[in-house]
Structure 1
Amino acid sequence: MADVRRRRGFPASANDKGLAAPAASPPTPRYTATLIFGSVCLAAYIALFARHARDLDAELCRSIAISFCMSVGAFFAVIRLVPVVARYVLKRNMFGYDINKKGSPAGSIQVPESLGIVTGFVFVVVTILFQIFCFSPDSAWLLEYNAALTSILFMILLGFVDDVLDIPWRVKLLLPSFAALPLLMAYAGHTTIVIPKPLRAYLEMEVLDLGVLYKVYMGLLAVFCTNAVNILAGVNGLEVGQTLVISSAILIHNMMQIVSSSDADYQQAHAFSIYLTQPLVGASLGLLCYNWYPSSVFVGDTYTYFAGMTMAVAGILGHFSETLLLFFLPQIINFVYSIPQLFKWVPCPRHRLPSFEPKTGLLTGSKDMNLVNLFLRWFGRCTERQLCIRLLIFQGLCSGFCFLLRFLMAGWYK
Structure 2
Amino acid sequence: MSLIFLAINGGLSAVGAVICYQLILTYIPIFIARKMYGNDQCKVSNAPVPEPMGVICAAVYLIVMFMFIPFPFLEWKGQSEFPYEKLLALLSGLISISTAILLGFADDMLDLKWRHKLLFPTLSSLPLLMVYYVSGNSTTVIVPTIVRHLVQPIVLLPVTINISFIYYIFMGMVIVFCTNAINILAGINGLESGQSLVISASVCLFNFVQIFRFSAENSTGFWHHTISLYFLLPFTACTAILFYFNKYPSRVFVGDTFCYWSGMTLAVVSILGHFSKTLMLFFVPQIINFLYSIPQLFHLVPCPRHRLPKYDPKTDTVSMSIAEFKKTDLKRLGALFIAVCKSIGMLHVKEVEKDGEIYLQINNLTIINLVLKFAGPLHEKTLNDVLMSIQILCSLLAFFIRFYLASLFYDVVE
TM-score (norm 2): 0.83
1:291-344, Cα deviation, whole Å (9 max, x unpaired): 010001110000000000000001110000011111100000000101111112
Q: Out of 146-155 and 208-217, give the one that drifted further.
A: 208-217
What does 1:4-403 correspond to in 2, within 5 Å?
Answer: 59-101=1-43, 104=44, 106=45, 108-136=46-74, 138-140=82-84, 141-187=86-132, 188=135, 189-201=137-149, 202=152, 203-262=156-215, 264-366=219-321, 367-403=363-399
1:330-379, Cα deviation, whole Å (9 max, x unpaired): 00000010111111222211110111111110111121110111111112
Q: Secondary structure at the match of 1:363?
A: strand
Q: Structure 1 stretches of 5 or more lacking a match?
A: 1-58
* C-alpha deviation, 1:413, in angstroms: 3.0
1:128-150, Cα deviation, whole Å (9 max, x unpaired): 11113222473331111011000
Q: Secondary structure at the match of 1:392?
A: helix
**Number of equivalent positions:** 352
Opposite residue 131 of structure 2, the aligned amino acid is A
Tell me the distance in 2 between the aligned counterparts of 1:197 and 1:344.
Answer: 38
Q: Structure 2 stretches of 5 or more lacking a match?
A: 322-362
Tell me the distance in 2 between the aligned counterparts of 1:277 and 1:401.
Answer: 21
Tell me the distance in 1 between the aligned counterparts of 2:256 and 2:27.
Answer: 16
Opposite residue 177 of structure 1, the aligned amino acid is T
Tell me the distance in 1 between the aligned counterparts of 2:8 and 2:215.
Answer: 22
* C-alpha deviation, 1:200, in angstroms: 3.2
Tell me the distance in 2 between the aligned counterparts of 1:92 and 1:408.
Answer: 52
Aligned-CA RMSD value:
1.3
Opposite residue 122 of structure 2, the aligned amino acid is S
Q: Secondary structure at the match of 1:260?
A: helix
* C-alpha deviation, 1:152, in angstroms: 0.4
1:50-77, Cα deviation, whole Å (9 max, x unpaired): xxxxxxxxx1110111111111111111
Instruction: Give yes or no for contact 2:202–2:395 (8 Å, CA) kept in 1.
Output: yes
Instruction: Give yes or no for contact 1:195–1:413 (8 Å, CA) kept in 2.
Output: no
* C-alpha deviation, 1:262, in angstroms: 4.5
Tell me the distance in 1 between the aligned counterparts of 2:403 and 2:144.
Answer: 14
Q: Secondary structure at the match of 1:345?
A: coil
Opposite residue 285 of structure 1, the aligned amino acid is A
Opposite residue 66 of structure 2, the aligned amino acid is I
Q: Which has the higher strand share?
A: 2
Opposite residue 384 of structure 1, the aligned amino acid is E
* C-alpha deviation, 1:234, in angstroms: 0.4
* C-alpha deviation, 1:210, in angstroms: 1.1
Name the larger-Rg structure. Answer: 2
In the other structure, the counterpart of 2:411 is 413
Opposite residue 115 of structure 1, the aligned amino acid is M
Q: Secondary structure at the match of 1:167?
A: coil
Opposite residue 325 of structure 1, the aligned amino acid is M
In the other structure, the counterpart of 2:339 is none
Q: Secondary structure at the match of 2:42?
A: helix
Opposite residue 147 of structure 1, the aligned amino acid is S
